[in-house]
Amino acid sequence: MKKALCNLRRLRAVILALVLVSGAAALRPALLGAGNPSSSVVNIDNFSFGSGTLTVPAGTTVMWINRDDVPHTVVSTDHVFASSVLDTDDKFSYTFTKPGTYPYYCSVHPKMTAKVVVK
């Protein structure tokens, strides 16, 4: 009985954590809206990453949104960031804190490449 109660408490804690995380994820796009000067969006569509090169100031959060009807990923060539597989309308965000050039590609379609330049 004591073990079952302990497992139930753990289950409640996990469920609460999932609810909180999913709620935060749902709010993230609103927090990165047009009124926030430290955000930028890259649309993935037609087997390409937006315009190819995005230049942003340090501290900017970039959000990639898969607008294509096939899955894609966003993977830094130097392993600084990597998304999971993004289905249609899925999002991935990364905050660039250090200046530099960050080339990336889609691991599902390696010919899809682009870069973020952080100043």
> What is the spatial order of strands in the sheet that 60-66 belongs to?
48-49, 39-45, 60-66, 91-96
* Residues 48 and 93 grouped into a single domain: yes
> 15 pLDDT exceeds 60?
no
Minimal CA–CA distance to 49: which of 115, 96, 93, 1? 115
Domain that residue 88 falls in: 37-118
Largest CA distance in the chain: 60
Residues 46 and 26 in one domain: no
pTM: 0.69
Residue 37 pLDDT: 54
Is residue 45 located within the same domain as residue 20?
A: no
Residues 99 and 65 in one domain: yes
Give 38's contacts (C-beta < 8 A, 6+ positions apart): 57, 59, 60, 61
Domain CATH number, residue 86:
2.60.40.420
pLDDT tens digits, 101-119: 999 999 999 999 999 999 9
Q: Are residues 56 and 70 in the same domain?
A: yes
